[in-house]
């Protein structure tokens, strides 16, 4: 048995999976063999979710049945709403989401024997958007809106945020964003989900564990940091001096670099194109987007040789900001879509389960006598 310590388990295979594949040198990401570019253009979040959960693109009847199940499970019991109403409004939405998801298991219990039933996944994914959008109203002192069954997942998400019928073009962009964030091999939050799943914890607790992991700024929280960074830079002409100062002082440039990619993250490329579509729709490029383009250009000059390019977080936050989504809700949006990937991995883990129990390289004392208090 190897005793070599690899910080962050870098490059250590933790599981076998056929859910998603990436090639960091080629900039390729595929779900079940389908490239992310094609799914973002041609699929929907519902179809992509079913692909992740079941392994194949659905027939029209299968997709219709799945959409029916998803729409019928969006509503959340008032007990959960009351819990949310008693949470501090100053708390981060990810803290709320972890609490609310964990509580769902108490109000929608299931037998352990049925944990692997994919309908459990449907119930959780369907309610993720409801929880996130409910909180936006609750923390502002209002009752949340009820979900609508006549809208797609992305449309209903936008409706429950604003109370208005969503613009079809905006809904399509949101739908593509959900697809892009739905799955990404064994990242930190997915690994947390696998560890929880391996103990046979309920799927609600599996997702709660993943939500808590995604909340960190080195994972899902980076999209918030990107927007804050761009706001601090202010305008495109400030980008060069800001970036060079960060690099010279070994500071972090949020949204740049990814452990798995040595080229530009394919999701970042798609999001950038979507941002251009948004700009065309609005008739102008926002100052924040212009600043982001300037930052990317300067970083490419300084960092491309090291294989550091924009990742998915670099442009996703800008898009959400343009849609009017509050900055601290960016990561919950990430969690909504990634719940599809988490639960696909949860199902896969249970097909050949073994509890995770890694070893350690111990660096402390091996043995020493207890010292009485009067001799310390």
CA dist., res. 212 & res. 238, Å (int): 35
Catalytic residue, candidates 258, 345, 365, 374? 258
> Long-range contact list for 48-51, CB < 8 A, 24+ apart?
48/178, 48/179, 48/182, 48/340, 49/125, 49/182, 49/340
> CA dihedral defined by 92, 259, 32, 37, rounded to 10 degrees?
80
Cα(234)–Cα(327) distance, rounded to whole angstroms?
16
Coil vs helix vs strand at 237: helix
**Would you call 313 a catalytic residue per the annotation?**
yes
Q: What are the backbone angles phi and psi of residue 20, rounded to the nearest 5°?
A: -140, 160
Count Cβ atoms within 10 A of the Cβ of residue 306 and give its class: 0-12 exposed, 13-18 middle, 19 or more buried. Answer: exposed
Active site (annotated) includes residue 352: no
Whether 221 contacts 215, CB under 8 Å: yes
Q: Which of 175, 265, 313, 345 is catalytic?
A: 313
Backbone phi, psi, residue 288, to 5°: -65, -40
Q: Please give the full DSSP string across 2-71, using - where no structure is assigned.
A: -----GGGTT------SSEEEETTTTEEEETTEEHHHHHHH--HHHHHHHHHHSSPPPHHHHHHHHHHHH
Q: Which residues contact 201 (CB under 8 A, 6 or more apart)?
A: 209
Catalytic positions are 258, 313
């Amino acid at each position: 048995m190897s005793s070599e310590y690899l910080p962050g388990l870098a490059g250590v295979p933790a599981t076998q999976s056929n859910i998603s594949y990436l090639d960091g040198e080629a900039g390729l990401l595929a779900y079940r063999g389908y490239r992310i570019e094609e799914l973002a253009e041609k699929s929907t979040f519902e179809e992509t979710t079913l692909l992740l959960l079941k392994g194949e693109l659905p027939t029209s009847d299968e997709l219709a049945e799945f959409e029916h199940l998803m729409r019928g499970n969006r509503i959340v019991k008032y007990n959960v709403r009351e819990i949310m109403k008693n949470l501090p409004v100053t708390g981060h939405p990810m803290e709320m989401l972890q609490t609310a998801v964990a509580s769902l298991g108490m109000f929608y219990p299931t037998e352990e024997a049925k944990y692997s039933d994919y309908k459990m996944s449907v119930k959780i994914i369907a309610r993720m958007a409801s929880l996130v959008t409910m909180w936006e109203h609750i923390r502002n002192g209002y009752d949340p809106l009820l979900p609508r069954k006549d809208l797609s997942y992305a449309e209903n998400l936008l409706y429950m945020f604003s109370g208005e019928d969503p613009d079809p073009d905006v809904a399509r962009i949101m739908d593509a964003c959900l697809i892009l964030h739905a799955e990404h091999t064994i990242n930190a939050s997915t690994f947390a989900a696998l560890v929880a799943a391996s103990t046979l914890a309920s799927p609600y607790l599996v997702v709660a564990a993943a939500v808590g992991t995604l909340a960190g700024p080195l994972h899902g929280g980076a999209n918030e940091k990107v927007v804050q960074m761009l706001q601090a830079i202010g305008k495109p002409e400030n980008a060069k001096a800001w970036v060079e100062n960060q690099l010279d002082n070994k500071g972090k440039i949020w949204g740049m670099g990814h452990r798995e990619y040595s080229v530009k993250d394919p999701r970042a490329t798609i999001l950038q194109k979507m941002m251009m579509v948004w700009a065309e729709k609005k008739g102008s490029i926002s100052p924040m987007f212009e600043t982001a383009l300037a930052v990317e250009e300067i970083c490419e000059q300084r960092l491309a040789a090291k294989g550091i390019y924009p990742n998915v977080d670099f442009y996703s936050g800008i898009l959400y900001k343009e849609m009017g989504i509050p900055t601290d809700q960016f990561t919950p949006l990430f969690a909504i879509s990634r719940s599809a990937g988490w639960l696909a991995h949860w199902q896969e883990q249970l097909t050949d389960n073994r509890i995770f129990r890694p070893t350690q390289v111990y660096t402390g004392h091996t043995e020493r006598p207890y010292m009485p208090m009067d001799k310390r």
